[in-house]
Amino acid sequence: MRLDLTSDLVTLLQAIVDVESVSGNERELADMVEEALRSHGHLEVTRDGDCVIARTDFGRDQRVVIAGHLDTVPVADNLPSHLEQAPDGLRVVGRGTCDMKGGVAVQLQLAAELTDPNRDITWIFYDHEEVGAELNGLRRIAENSPQLLEADFAVLMEPTNAQIEGGCQGTCRIRITVPGKASHSARSWLGHNAIHALSDVLDRLNAYDAQEIDVEGLTFREGMNAVSVSGGVASNIIPPSAIIDVNYRYAPDKSPDDALVELRRVFHGYSFELTDMAPGARPGLDREIAKSFVDSVGSTPKPKYGWTDVARFSALGIPAVNYGPADPSLAHTDNEYCPADQLDTCANGLRRWLKITEEA
């Protein structure tokens, strides 16, 4: 099967959704995307593993990256896709429609259509977003061919309900191990119950005053929460140790080092193991190019709650936003879908921003 990039967005979305591309199995879809893009002479197409990069090179004053991932989480009896008429309009239903092949369909249509854009564009279709960061296609490109990511601004087409979500929160996970002393539960006074001792850590979390922090006009709400607890040996033994994992979602005004300082403050007196750290991304909405994007899209920017690959662009000094069709709360659900009208909204917003107008 070949992709027709001139087809309407609903048809194009169904075509790419029906090619199963669970993380690690992106090859078939990547091949189809590469073949379709190579047929358009205004694009220079590069392949890195199962990542496809298509660039214009007209010598424009500015370059933007527009990126989306090809992979999905595992299928749950939700392929092939189908259409559903809902009270609010037509929906495309199936694995990946929301996260994030709706955005990929918009990218593909515009990559073919915009043969004379007002800015040079780097279109990126990457692999392994839904799995460990060490496999992420954007990370691989940054290491192998960083020049391909150079840009003045980036748009990541993660689902946002066709609204602009600027930057993203940073995320950090730590593990606190609380010691105890084992004894027979019939003689509990001879031991020290580590699970009971977790109460102090939980009290600190319950008392934590989550901050709302303004970053470039967007208000990010932080959060610090226990996300797992484990401990115990047997039903007749006082637990000799207990473990609690804590996730801290922090505003992008903080660096990873700042986040660790805050965790050490909250858990003063405890040692902990850092198990995961990903920096946030400032929105960059104070840049002129970002302002032009906001004006063209006509959306009031909101903060991105959660972490996305915009942070990878931010780390390279490229301001980035999330902007794509579908409700992000449906991502990874068995009944995920993408509203047809949001496909058109995102395509038209990007088209207004990137197309040379008759007056220009």
CA torsion angle 250 216 354 336 (round to 10): 30
Which tokens go with 265? 């403050």
Which tokens go with 93? 């239903």
Counted residue by residue, the chain has a size of: 360
Q: Which residue has the tokens 């005053």?
A: 209
Which tokens go with 44? 């220079």
Catalytic residue among 50, 129, 152, 245: 129
List beta partners, residue 252: none
Q: Is the torsion defined by CA of 110, 116, 119, 120 positive or negative?
A: positive
- The dihedrals phi and psi of 183, each to the nearest 5 degrees, come to -160, 170
The answer to whether residues 148 and 126 touch, using CB atoms and an 8 Å cutoff, is: no
Q: How far apart are CA 50 and CA 124, in angstroms?
A: 11
Q: How far apart are CA 250 and CA 204, in angstroms?
A: 17
Catalytic residue among 71, 130, 165, 336: 71
129: annotated active-site residue: yes
71: annotated active-site residue: yes
- The dihedrals phi and psi of 270, each to the nearest 5 degrees, come to -110, 145
Pairing of strands 302-303, 165-166: parallel
Residues forming the active site: 71, 129
